[in-house]
């Protein structure tokens, strides 16, 4: 029998093929070994897994439903579209799946504090939520520029009891927030754990976060089979920033004869700086403690990126995504800013669901794919809700009607 994929990857050093590993400053090597050792035990611990199940059922609102989007499918006139409703998670996105579990790992290690960086504030809010639930302290580092831009999430974190630390050097955005958070972590190794926000960073985080997100795919597979009398979808589609919601839903179908698609943000053009399509345009390199495919400038530094979805504008991608792209198990595709906004309005008006702009990338690609494979079924991971994006969309694109006139679908 073939070895199940999830049991065979990564290797014991955290490599998925050529990608992954742990590239750490010497002061952190021991700490990450401790986390790895603890997690390898926890992942088989009945007490840990049943506590996680309890939290998901009673606090997070899992299982989230799979929904057949009949009106949208009919309007496109192609394949049948199904959504895994991660937007119905507590706090409105899949991120809580790994934040709650990371907090539980920190507690098991005897830590009393969680530290992280955040860009748009989504990871910060999810982690502050988990910290409040478990009675842990929470320190979120955020660029001064992002603090201005993402005011509502900053307020949420503070209400939840987290301390928001501004990163005031350099460009004062995400990269500086990472530097600032790591510096704080180094000074508090005895009491704090760094909680990474996607399937990125040094081993064991890509493995841990993928394990914690796999609930999305395992649930969806069972739910879809139940809805259809034992069938599987032909295609599974998810957007990719770091890759956690994608690895979550792919985990349920990776050993099946199901095509998997990673949708990257094509932004507003193909030049460096106009998109964040790492798998499509990047090359191998090391960033933030792991080896992966990265968007780099001519000096090999992380390239500037753009996407209307702030959760997708990262110049790297998780090592497992890079590996699955390289071996051809996952197809890397894209959706532009414009296509994404159209999809945002399409599912708002055809289904009564306002999606996060990140998730709208996945839906935009699924809508293109649906026309090419009219007899198939496509399952899309609807990773989050769009409340956070409504002002931005309306200010920049106005209120649109879907389908727009002259756009005969
Ligand atoms: C953060 C975020 C993403 C991107 O992160 P991944 O790790 O690639 O999943 C996607 N969707 C939503 C709603 C997010 O908040």
- Cα–Cα distance between 351 and 337 in angstroms, integer? 21
Does ligand 1 have an atom closer than 6 angstroms to the CB of 337? no
What does the DSSP 8-state code read for residue 2? P
- Cα–Cα distance between 186 and 259 in angstroms, integer? 42
Q: Other CB atoms closer than 10 Å to residue 38's CB: what's the count?
A: 17
> What residue segments make up the domains of the chain, in order of their start?
16-58+95-205, 61-92+214-397
- Cα–Cα distance between 302 and 214 in angstroms, integer? 29
The answer on pLDDT for 1 being more than 60 is: no
Tell me the per-residue pLDDT of 128-170, one tens digit each, with 9 for 90 and over. Answer: 999 999 999 999 999 999 999 889 999 999 999 999 999 999 8
* 383 catalytically annotated: yes
Token representation of residue 247:
């690895």
Q: How confident is the model at residue 175 (pLDDT cuts 50, 70, 90)?
A: confident
Average pLDDT of the residues of the chain: 96
Cα(384) to centroid(ligand 1), Å: 8
With residues binned 3-state (H G I as helix, E B as strand, rest as coil), the percentages for the chain, rounded to 5, are 45, 20, 35
Tell me the per-residue pLDDT of 102-123, one tens digit each, with 9 for 90 and over. Answer: 999 999 999 999 999 998 899 9
Cα(238) to centroid(ligand 1), Å: 10
Q: Do domains 16-58+95-205 and 61-92+214-397 have the same CATH topology?
A: yes
**Side-chain half-sphere of 305: how many Cα atoms within 13 Å?**
28
> Which of 31, 73, 86, 95 is the catalytic position?
95
Does ligand 1 have an atom closer than 6 angstroms to the CB of 95? yes
Task: Choose the residue to mutate in 85, 89, 99, 122 for probing ligand 1, maximizing ligand atoms within 8 Å of C-beta.
Answer: 122
The torsion defined by the Cα of 350, 355, 357 and 363, in degrees rounded to 10, comes to -60
Q: Which atom of ligand 1 is nearest to the CA of 240?
A: 8
pLDDT of residue 102: 98
Tell me the per-residue pLDDT of 283-319, one tens digit each, with 9 for 90 and over. Answer: 999 999 999 999 999 998 899 999 999 889 889 999 9
> Which of 117, 320, 351, 358 is the catalytic position?
117
Whether domain 16-58+95-205 has CATH 3.40.50.1100? yes
Task: Choose the residue to mutate in 153, 240, 312 for probing ligand 1, maximizing ligand atoms within 8 Å of C-beta.
Answer: 312
Cα(247) to centroid(ligand 1), Å: 11
**Side-chain half-sphere of 109: how many Cα atoms within 13 Å?**
28
Nearest CA among 259, 277, 260, 258 for reference residue 268: 277
* 336 catalytically annotated: no
Does ligand 1 have an atom closer than 6 angstroms to the CB of 239? yes
The answer to whether residues 19 and 291 touch, using CB atoms and an 8 Å cutoff, is: yes
* 117 catalytically annotated: yes
pLDDT of residue 42: 98
pLDDT of residue 2: 64
The answer to whether residues 102 and 43 touch, using CB atoms and an 8 Å cutoff, is: no
Whether domain 61-92+214-397 has CATH 3.10.180.10? no
Cα(111) to centroid(ligand 1), Å: 26
């Amino acid at each position: 029998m073939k070895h199940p994929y999830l049991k065979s990857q990564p290797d014991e050093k955290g490599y998925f093929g050529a990608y992954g590993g742990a590239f750490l400053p010497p002061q952190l090597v021991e700490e990450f070994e401790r986390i790895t050792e603890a997690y390898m035990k926890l992942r088989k611990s009945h007490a840990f897994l049943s506590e996680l199940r309890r939290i998901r059922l009673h606090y997070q609102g899992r299982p989230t439903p799979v929904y057949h989007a009949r009106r949208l499918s009919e309007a496109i006139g192609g394949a049948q579209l199904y959504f895994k409703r991660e937007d119905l998670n507590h706090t409105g996105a899949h991120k809580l799946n790994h934040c709650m579990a990371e907090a539980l790992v920190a507690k098991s290690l005897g830590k009393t504090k969680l530290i992280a960086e955040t860009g748009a504030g989504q990871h910060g809010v999810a982690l502050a939520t988990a910290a409040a639930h478990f009675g842990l302290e929470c320190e979120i580092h955020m660029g001064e520029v992002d603090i201005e831009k993402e005011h509502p999430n900053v307020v949420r974190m503070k209400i939840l009891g987290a301390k928001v630390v501004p990163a005031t050097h350099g460009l004062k955005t995400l990269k500086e927030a990472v530097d600032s958070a790591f510096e704080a972590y180094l000074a508090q190794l005895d009491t704090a754990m760094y909680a990474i926000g996607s399937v990125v960073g040094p081993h064991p985080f890509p493995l841990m976060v993928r394990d914690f997100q796999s609930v999305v795919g395992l649930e969806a597979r069972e739910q879809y089979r139940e809805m259809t009398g034992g069938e599987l979808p032909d295609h599974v589609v998810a957007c990719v920033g770091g890759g956690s919601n994608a690895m979550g839903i792919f985990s349920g179908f990776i050993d099946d004869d199901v095509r998997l698609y990673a949708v990257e943000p094509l932004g507003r053009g193909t030049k460096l700086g106009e998109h964040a399509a790492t798998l499509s345009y990047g090359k191998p390199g090391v960033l933030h403690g792991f080896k992966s495919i990265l968007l780099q400038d001519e000096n090999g530094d992380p390239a500037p990126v753009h996407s209307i979805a702030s959760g997708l504008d990262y110049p790297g991608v998780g090592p497992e995504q890079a590996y699955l792209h390289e071996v051809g198990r996952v197809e890397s595709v894209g959706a532009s800013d414009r296509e994404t906004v159209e999809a945002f309005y399409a599912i708002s008006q055809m289904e009564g669901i306002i999606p996060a702009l990140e998730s709208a990338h996945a839906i935009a690609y699924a809508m293109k794919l649906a026309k090419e494979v009219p007899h198939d079924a496509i399952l899309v991971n609807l990773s989050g809700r769009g409340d956070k994006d409504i002002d931005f969309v309306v200010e920049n694109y106005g209120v649109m009607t879907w389908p727009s006139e002259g756009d005969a679908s």
